[in-house]
Structure 1
């Protein structure tokens, strides 16, 4: 009886998960591998590899299941590794155009919307490009590995 009940339960779960999957939705639920803490490993500026110090590599971005994110950047200053920037807010992932939209409030510049382009991720790696100056060309390429 337990086996029959387990098979029925498993079949129900498979039917539910198959019918609710939609790769064109803007959601984190269809791409659970994105929900992780990702550590910075590669940074290219205008297609030129930038040398990352051990301090730079402390930088990370974390995507949470509730649609929030946290991002921290570190840099050496006067010989000390210090927190250079910290953003917290909400994000959405659009699987049809491979973009993540970050919404947060900057202490200096107020409300911000940042678009991460060409998003690709696996269970262990995340990368994207980013147009910092808004000229239509992505100057930055960032690659992260899962913590």
Structure 2
């Protein structure tokens, strides 16, 4: 996947849109749009935090986590509390399992789709930050 590190933001967004549409396209169009937008928001927010040198354990990361948990809450109709953060952490850990990423790579290959860009660095940071900031 080295070529994915050099693709433009627009191309990366197109690939993510295409992949979400193909994998959950049977869902209600509003749900597909919300999942797609949430994926971009998480990636963009975490990449900005990482670029700014914000460590997951820092107080500034707590603000980033709060914003992202709020975004998840809006999509999944949940309130930011310790219980939801714990559930979200568990969900992100599953999503960040290398086998999950490999599954989606294989799914894309079998179906002739462009594989989605990796979310591993983004999820690594978000998971670490959620572990350090388990409650609002």
More helix per residue: 1 or 2?
2
Q: Which has the higher Rg, Structure 1 or Structure 2? A: 1
TM range (shorter): under 0.3
Structure number with the bigger relative contact order (C-alpha 8 A, sep ≥ 6) is: 2
TM-score w.r.t. length of structure 1: 0.26
More strand per residue: 1 or 2?
1
